Amino acid sequence: MSSKKLMEKVKELLEEGGRKAYEVAKEEILSEEIGYEPVRDALQYFIQELWHNFQHPALLSLARKSVGGKPEDTTFIGAVLVLLTGAADIHDDLIDQSKTKGPNQPYSANSAETSHSLLAAHCFNLTEDFLYLSWRK
């Protein structure tokens, strides 16, 4: 198998393993009613177009499976990882004083700071949900 085909297979496996957690994170963001249009647009663009983070939740899922656990048990905490790494990416953009996100999306410091804060808040919401569901088992 060529290295290109191998990388495509790895990418497929990571997407398959992390897709559900990514979708939970995406729904968490898209369900938020954000009244300030620049922040709403920035977050929607970020989660729908840029931040297809399958790898972090997939690695968590694979680790769980490797020790005999159910990979789906990691969905909520995987979604937290998607949001947390997204918040870290935006934080990095603030530090670097980036003017754009992705190829063409204008990026203001105000919308970046607010987006960063909202992603971090959603991390706490999902963590709370995860802990509550774990406690109820």
CATH number at residue 116: 1.10.600.10
Report pLDDT for 28: 87
Q: Which domain holds residue 112?
A: 19-136
Tokens matching residue 19: 């897709």
* Residue 10 resides in a domain: no
* Residue 8 resides in a domain: no
> Helix H segments across the chain?
3-30, 37-45, 55-66, 75-96, 109-136
* Residue 7 resides in a domain: no
Give the three-state DSSP class for 52: coil
- Structural domains of the chain, count: 1
* Predicted model pTM: 0.79
CA distance 56 to 107: 25
* Residue 44 resides in a domain: yes
**What average pLDDT does the chain have?**
82
Report pLDDT for 43: 83
Q: State percent of the chain over pLDDT 70.
A: 82
DSSP 8-class letter at 50: I
Q: Is the pLDDT of residue 64 over 90?
A: yes
Tokens matching residue 50: 């840029």
